[in-house]
Amino acid sequence: MRSSRRFTATFQSSTAAPAAQPSPLPSGGSILAEPPVAVVDKNATRTWAEAYLDQLYIPEGQELAEKHHYRPRDAAVAARHEDQFPQLPLFTVDEVFGGWKAAQLKHFADGGVFDQIYKPGN
């Protein structure tokens, strides 16, 4: 297996959290998500997977990620898009929510925060 890398994504909400559910993030911050990406030896399309991984971190790949609203990690690409992704504190899920398992249980399990604030049709 080829060594894995991390692709960083941030989600920046453009709407304020409802008063009943204040944001758990420190003011002005955003969640930093770094899901690992890797090529798996059993992958039937290994050539495609390797090409994707090789392209992900070059400037062109970072520009494509930016077009899909992911914060670029390449400094030059990030500088070109600082109007869309201004500098701000980034926090991991571990730091703010106690890890992905705890976040899943609290926010996305049946009856969790998502169910409490979701309004169908909005």
What distances in angstroms separate CA 122 from CA 23, 44, 75, 113, 117, one per listed residue? 20, 41, 37, 17, 11
Coil vs helix vs strand at 11: strand
Task: With a cut of 80, say whether residue 31 has pLDDT above it.
Answer: yes
Confidence band (pLDDT; 50, 70, 90) for 24? low
Average pLDDT over residues 17-31: 64
Q: Any idea what the Cα angle at residue 94 is, between residues 43 and 15, rounded to 5°?
A: 95
Average pLDDT over residues 55-82: 93
Residue 10's DSSP bridge partners are 32
Higher pLDDT, 114 or 21: 114
Average pLDDT over residues 73-101: 90
Q: How big is the chain, counted in residues?
A: 122
Confidence band (pLDDT; 50, 70, 90) for 4? very low
How far is residue 92's CA from residue 31's CA, in Å, rounded to a whole number?
A: 6
Task: With a cut of 50, say whether residue 11 has pLDDT above it.
Answer: no
**62 within 8 A of 77, measured Cβ to Cβ:** yes
Average pLDDT over residues 90-119: 90
